[in-house]
Amino acid sequence: MSRVCELTGKAVMTGNTVSHANNKSRRRYLPNLVNVTLISDALGQSYKLRVSAYGLRSVEHRGGLDAFLAKADASELSAKAQLLKRQIAKKLVAAAA
């Protein structure tokens, strides 16, 4: 399982740990991933996703999973999230018609 947020696309970064003597050694910066269950209002179901803490704050700020996916760019979403986005858009179009 890769260490990538399913909603924001945040992934592992690399850099240096720099000591007081200015010695540099390589290290990995891991995203703060959390397994969460998010509820879709349009579909009336809950979905388990692996989301970063930053992504979870963004979902809450935008007003829920449906609003977040409506604004999100499909290129940074996981396959599961892209499927969810299409299902929600389809449901909202059907409800509007």
pLDDT at 34: 97
Q: Where are the beta strands (DSSP E) in the chain?
A: 13-18, 24-29, 33-40, 45-52
Cβ of 61: how many Cβ atoms within 10 Å? 10
Residue whose structure tokens are 């000591």: 19
- Give 65's DSSP letter: H
Cβ of 49: how many Cβ atoms within 10 Å? 21
Q: Give the closest residue to 50 by CA, choosing from 63, 37, 68.
A: 37
Give residue 87's Cα distance to chain centre.
17
Task: pLDDT tens for the chain, 97 residues: list them.
Answer: 789 999 999 999 999 999 999 999 999 999 999 999 999 999 999 999 999 999 999 999 999 999 999 999 999 999 999 999 999 999 999 988 8
What predicted TM-score, i.e. pTM, was given to this entire model? 0.86
